[in-house]
Structure 1
Amino acid sequence: MKITDAKVFVGGPGKNYVTLKIMTDQGGYGLGDATLNNRETLPAAYLRDYLVPNLIGMDPRNSEDIWQFFYRGAYFRRGPIAMAAFGAIDMALWDIKGKLANMPLYQLFGGKSRDSAMVYAHATGTDLEDLMASITRYVDQGYEAVRVQCGIPGMPGSGYAVPEEKGAKRDYITDFSGVRPKVEIWDSERYMRFMPDALMAIRERFGPDLKILHDVHHRLTPREAAAFAKAVEPARLFWLEDPTPAEDQGALRLLRQHSTVPVAIGEVFNSIWDCQKLIEEELIDFIRVAVTYVGGITHAKRIVELAALHHVRTGFHGAPSHSPICMAAQAHLNVWAPNFGIQEYLVLGTDECDALFPSDHRMERGRFHVSEAPGLGVDFDESQAERYSFQPGSHPVARLEDGTMWNY
């Protein structure tokens, strides 16, 4: 069996999904996701210009050797662009492998450890009252876990993942439109004064069973993060996400010395080497990598298995920048992984997205149920893809009130 061709598509409903389709000489094909949020044309070009020409003629069943060929064969390794491109190739090869075996991918990993995977929704509000209404909406839908973000009194601008208008959007997603980024204003002191009491109010309103998650989004210094984690302990969070910038991994040692709050980190990591020490030293409780960004299923599975040795559970990134192909790959890992924790899930579900990526995967009452179709269980409609083209955009940036650039 040989790879005969591969195509790269960029575009989608509301997102610039980067979709790879690898074809074989036996008529089969596999799909992968290389979407790098707001930098989508870069992994697409890397695939088209450098990687796909090398794929032609390779045996798609040798996914391990192909992964090593691209990773170890490169002089400059890792980084989000390269790993997203490798991730798309690896997903597509696993998809082909599952179709050849006529099995869903989780069977190739060792079968199911659970029937479905718990996911968490994103609740947000301009103020605490608005946030409570958003949480109630998800609880009424059957969600067992909700990430909560809230506007901070006295802080100009919306802050991280908070809408500008009260009650405007219950499924709020940060606006990434436009090449020039929007500016969010940040004030750590105001945040640290307000948020512990807000989280406690949420716990008191919704009781002991709701799993409450909160994302700091790298905004605090190590000392501030340690103080904040200690202050929010009474709210009994399911996890505190990204309390400090991911580059300074030693900062989490200070947090661990002062608090037992579970810590989740990793959505900006690109390899096992980025999180090896955090896992081995047990400085985190959940690893937040995404299958696309860490080079595909082959490498993500290694991270999951390392984490299992050190009591670290999975919490795969699930922002809408990941196409249904990446989310399907993570769904198969989720039902297999013995150390599964939770899956982030922002609603992709538009009719347009379902038409572009048809599948039988389904979400019901806060649980993701994986399809029994062979391979990834997601298809790609090229005729639908013709409706979309690349639309440039950027993440917002964060500044302090005096104009100083801060961590986004």
Structure 2
Amino acid sequence: MRIADAQVVVTSPGRNFVTLKLTTDEGVTGLGDATLNGRELAVVSYLTDHVVPLLTGLDPHRIEDTWQYLYRGAYWRRGPVTMAAIAAIAAVDVALWDIKAKAAGLPLYQLLGGASRDRLATYGHANGRDIPELLDSVRQRLDEGYPAVRVQTGIPGLKAVYGVHTTGAQGERVLHQQTRPLVEDWDTDAYLRHTPAVFEAVRAEFGAGIPLLHDAHHRLTPIQAARLGKDLEPYRPFWLEDCTPTENQEALRLVRRHTTTPLATGEVFNTVYDYQTLITEQLIDYVRSAVTHFGGVTPLRKLFDFAAQYQIKSAIHGPEDISPVGMAAAVHLGFAVHNFGIQEYSGHNALTEEVFRHAYAFTDGHLHPGEAPGIGVELDEKLAAAHPYEQTYLPVNRLLDGTVHDW
């Protein structure tokens, strides 16, 4: 069996997705997710111009070799564009696993060692412009069956804040395509004063038994993150996510010294080197990388095995901008690894679900990968073509005095 054809499909059924489709000379196809939110066309160019020409004629079963060929063979490596595009370095890697599992007639998780559990626990996103609206959102997530909830709320005095979304008449999130980045505002002191009150209100309304998560989205200095972690300890959060920019891995040492609040990070990481200090010094409790942005199933499985030696668990990034192809790969991997922690699951809109028909199922707050061969996703190329790319950007963040701040 050899790879006979490689196509890059760009579609926007509510938001942009980039998909790689590989086809073998025996007619077996495989899909990989190469979406990089806000920089989609950079990945399309990388795939089309630099990766696809290398794939024709390769043995699709040689997944590890292909990963090393595309990663080590490129002198300029690492970085999210490369890692999202280079196969086995994400799109190619997942597509090859999809082909291998289809050829074996098995769901992917069976090739990864089989099931380590019966289903995957998830957490959903609850948000509100103020605390009463947040409480309504938490109640809705619980009614949907989520066993854990991430809580984000507006901050008094600020107009637009990360994690608080515009919603439509039925409560669906409204995604605005942006020709220029939306500018959000930020006041760290106001945030640090407000957030403990948010947790207090949610605990008072729903009790101590619900796992509550919170995302600081890289906006705090290490000492500010330590203060927030300490202030949240009475409310026993499941985790505090991305409390400070972790390009400087040593920054987490300060946070860790001052709080017992569990820490999660890594959704913007691309290689194991980004994690080395964090894992070996046990500075975090959950690794958050996505299959799509970490180079695929192959390296992410290795990361989880590395983290397991230090009692650190998986928590694969699962926002709406990870396509159902990337989500399916995440579900199969989480189903197989022993040190699974929790899976973020935002779901997708109805049109996306039509474009990417998938075997994984969300029931009572839990995910199951299904038993279809491969990753269990089929791409409706005709419907995808009816929804072409739309230019969009992620927001940017400014302090009240106009200074650009981390978003």
- What TM bracket, shorter-length normalisation? over 0.9
Taking the aligned partners of 2:388 and 2:144, their CA distance within structure 1 comes to 34
Native 8 Å contact 1:317 1:344 kept in 2 = yes
Amino acid paired to 2:359:
D
Post-superposition CA distance 1:100-121 (Å, at most 9, x none): 1111111111110111101111
| 1:403 and 2:402 matched | yes
Query: CA-to-partner distance for each residue in 1:124-160, whole Å, 9 max, x for gaps?
Result: 00000000000011112221101000111122x1211
1:90 aligns with 2:93: yes
Contact 2:14 2:352 in 1 (8 A): no
Q: Contact 2:328/2:358 (CA < 8 Å) preserved in 1?
A: no
Q: Following superposition of structure 1 onto structure 2, how do residues 3-42 of structure 1 map, counting pairs within 5 Å? A: 3-42=3-42
Matching residue's letter, 1:323: S
Q: Name 1:162's counterpart in structure 2.
A: 164
Of residues 152, 155, 159 in structure 1, which corresponds to 2:155? 152
Q: Provide the rounded CA distance (Å) in 2 between the counterparts of 1:50 and 1:67.
A: 14
Partners of 1:32 and 1:347 lie apart in 2 by 18
1:123–1:171 CA contact under 8 A, matched in 2: no
Distance of 1:108 and 1:96 partners within structure 2:
12
Q: Which residue of 2 aligns with 1:293?
A: 293
| Uncovered stretches (5+) of structure 1, i.e. residues with no partner | none
Q: Secondary structure at the match of 1:379?
A: strand
Q: Is the aligned partner of 1:132 residue 2:131? A: no
Distance (Å, rounded) in 1 between the aligned partners of 2:176 and 2:342: 26
Give the CA deviation at 1:176: 5.1
Structure 2: where are the runs of 5+ without partners? none
Asked if 1 retains the 8 angstrom alpha-carbon contact of 2:250 and 2:277, the reply is: no
User: RMSD over aligned Cα, in angstroms?
Assistant: 1.3
Aligned-residue offset at 1:171: 4.5
Q: State the Cα deviation string for residues 18-70 of structure 1 (Å, max 9, x = none).
A: 01110111111111000000111111111111111111111001011000001
Aligned twin of 2:376: 377
Q: Is the 8 A contact 2:328 2:376 kept in 1?
A: yes
Distance of 1:169 and 1:342 partners within structure 2? 27
Cα offsets for 1:166-198 (capped at 9, x unmatched): x9774546x452221111110010111111121
Distance 1:250 1:176 in 2: 37
Q: How many residues align?
A: 404
Q: How far, CA to CA, are the matches of 1:140 and 1:380 in structure 2? A: 31
Deviations 1:281-339 (A, max 9, x none): 11000000000101111111111111111111111101111100000000001111111
Q: Which runs of 4+ in 1 moved over 6 A?
A: none
Structure 2: which amino acid aligns with 1:132?
L
1:226 is aligned to 226
Q: TM-score, normalised by structure 1?
A: 0.97
Q: Which amino acid aligns with 2:209?
A: D
Alpha-carbon spacing, 1:277–1:16, altered in 2? closer, same or farther (3 Å): same
Query: Which segment drifts farther, 113-122 or 245-254?
Result: 245-254
Distance in 1 separating the partners of 2:192 and 2:205 = 21
CA distance in 1, matches of 2:259, 2:346: 29
- The match for 1:123 is 126
Aligned partners of 2:13 and 2:384 also within 8 Å: no
